[in-house]
Amino acid sequence: MPLENDPLRVVVLAEASPDDAAAVGGVGGFLRALSGHMPPGWVLLTPSPGPDDAPCHLGPSLAGCRLPHRIVFPLRLLLHIGRLSRLRPGLVYTHSNEAAMLLCLLRSVGLVRWRLVHHQHGSENPLTYATFGIGRRFGLPAAYDRVLGWMHRAVDRVVAIDERCLAENIRWGVPPERVVLLPNAVDTELFRPSEELRASFREALGIPAGAFLFCFAGRIEEVKRVGLLLDSFEILEGSPWLVIAGEGSLRGNLERRAALSPASGRIVFTGALGPGSMPSLYAASDCLVLPSAAEGIPLVILEGMSTGVPVVATAVGGVPGLLDPSCGILVDPSPTTRDLAKALSEAMETDWDRAAVRARAAGFSAVRAVSLLNALFRGVCGRDTPNA
C-alpha cells in the first residue's frame, strides 16, 4: 500500500465498497466514479465487497442485512476502529452521516485526532423517507436533524452537492468558509453511447430495436414514486417500453400492479443491476425518468446524460441545476399522473441532440472532482501535517 512517503494520507470511509451489492444509490456510484482516479495516498475503507471479512475491511458486506444500515455501519466502525487507526490517516473523508457522527464524538473526547471532511449527499433529512417506519416516529427526524447539525459544525469541512445543502449548513450554523460546493461526479469514459450495448441489452430483454424505451434506475421506495411512473406510462399513446431497474420494499406490490396494466407486456422489472450493467441500461434507453419526491444531485441523471440519454425528472433538490431544455424536461415537484404523462409524451416527440445531452455531463467528470477534492484535503491538512 503506497502510503509510507505520502504526507497526506486520506481514508475514504463508506458503508459499501463500489464493487459491493450493497453499494446502491448516489454514494456507491460516486465512489465508483472516483475509484479509478484516486491518488496513491487515498485508501478506500468499507465493509468487504465479498462474503469474507479481511483485516483491510470493516467486516463483511452489509448486502442482505435486514437491519437499518445507518445503525449497523457505525457500530461496525466502532468495533473495527483499530483497523482505521492502523492506516494512520491524516484525514478521514466520510460518506455516512452516522459514521461522521461517531468520529466527531470520538474526537471530542480525545480518542482520535484525525481531520474530518464529510460529504453531504443530499439536503433532505433521511429519516423523513426512512424505509423502516419507526424512523419517522417519536420525534426521531427532529432529533436526527439536531445531531446532524452538530456533526456538520464539528467536522473540519463539509462537501455540499448543491445550493440546498449549502443553505442547510447555514441553517445549522456552519461557517460558510467551511462548506465547499462540489456536485456529483460521473465517469464519462465508462458512460458513453454504444450501439453494441444498446442492441445486446434490448435483445436480452425482448425489447424491439425500434421501440422507444423509458428507464428508471434506483431504489423502489415511496420517495422515488415508481407507482406514479407506472400510472403515467399506462396512459401514453403509442407503444413505448419501460424498464425499471432496482430493488426495494415496494417492488413486489408494483410488479403485481404492473401485471394488471394494459401495458403489462411492455413493462420490465430487472431487479438491481450490477455496476457493470448500468452502461448497457442507459445505452439501450431513449429517456431516463426520475419522478422522485426528494433528491440531491442524482448520479443516475449524470450517468444517463453522459450516455446521451435525455431526462424527465421532478424539479426537486439539485435537479433543476442539472437539466435545461437541451437535455431534459423538468416536471412540477408534485406532479399528477397526467402532468408526468404529458412530459413523457413530449420526450417521445422531441428530436434530441444526443451529443448536446452528453456534453452537458462533461462538466461533472470524475477527474475534475478528484482534483478539487485533493486540493481541499491538502488545504485542510497542510502539506506537512503529521499523521495522527
Render pLDDT for 1-24 as a digit per residue (tens, 0 to 9).
344 455 589 999 988 777 775 555
Same domain, 163 and 224: no
**pLDDT tens sequence across 205-235:** 999 999 999 999 999 999 999 999 999 999 9
Give the C-alpha separation, 73 to 50, whole Å: 16
Give the C-alpha separation, 166 to 253, whole Å: 37
Q: Which of these ranges, 57-66, 99-108, 170-179, 285-294, has the smallest mean pLDDT?
A: 57-66
Q: Is 296 helix (H, G, I), strand (E, B) or coil?
A: coil
Same domain, 61 and 199: no
Query: What's the number of domains the chain is made of?
Result: 2
Question: Does residue 2 belong to any structural domain of this protein?
Answer: no
Question: Does residue 260 belong to any structural domain of this protein?
Answer: yes
Same domain, 143 and 224: no
Residues 61-74 have a mean pLDDT of 79
pLDDT of residue 388: 41
Same domain, 168 and 60: yes
User: Model pTM greater than 0.85?
Assistant: no
Residues 117-142 have a mean pLDDT of 71
**pLDDT tens sequence across 363-375:** 888 888 999 999 9
Report the candidate in 117, 32, 50, 42 with the shortest Cα–Cα distance to residue 87. 42
E-strand stretches of the chain: 10-13, 42-45, 91-94, 115-120, 157-160, 179-181, 213-217, 241-245, 267-271, 287-290, 311-314, 328-331
pLDDT of residue 1: 38
Give the C-alpha separation, 238 to 235, whole Å: 10
Question: Does residue 137 belong to any structural domain of this protein?
Answer: yes
Same domain, 161 and 226: no
Q: Is the pLDDT of residue 60 over 50?
A: yes
Give the C-alpha separation, 28 to 272, whole Å: 13
Same domain, 278 and 358: yes
Same domain, 47 and 141: yes
Same domain, 177 and 215: no
Same domain, 370 and 238: no
pLDDT of residue 21: 59
Q: Is the pLDDT of residue 104 over 70?
A: yes
Q: Is the pLDDT of residue 198 over 90?
A: yes
pLDDT of residue 152: 98
Question: Does residue 190 belong to any structural domain of this protein?
Answer: no
CA-derived radius of gyration, the chain: 21
Question: Does residue 387 belong to any structural domain of this protein?
Answer: no
Same domain, 177 and 218: no
List Cβ neighbours of 49 (8 Å cut-off, separation of 6 or more).
Answer: 16, 17, 18, 19, 20, 61
Same domain, 119 and 60: yes
pLDDT of residue 125: 60
**pLDDT tens sequence across 267-326:** 999 998 887 899 999 999 999 999 999 888 889 999 999 999 999 999 998 899 899 999
Give the C-alpha separation, 317 to 371, whole Å: 25
pLDDT of residue 50: 65
Domain interval for residue 107 = 10-185+365-381
Question: Does residue 151 belong to any structural domain of this protein?
Answer: yes
Question: Does residue 388 belong to any structural domain of this protein?
Answer: no
Question: Does residue 250 belong to any structural domain of this protein?
Answer: yes
Residues 329-334 have a mean pLDDT of 97
Q: Is the pLDDT of residue 130 over 60?
A: no
What residues pair up with 192 in beta bridges, in sequence order? none
Half-sphere exposure of 9 (CA within 13 A, CB side): 18
CATH number at residue 162: 3.40.50.2000
Q: Please report, rounded to a whole number, the percentage of residues in the chain having pLDDT higher than 90.
A: 65
Are the C-beta atoms of 243 and 268 separated by less than 8 Å?
A: yes
Query: pLDDT-derived band of residue 195, with 50, 70 and 90 as boundaries?
Result: very high
Same domain, 336 and 226: yes
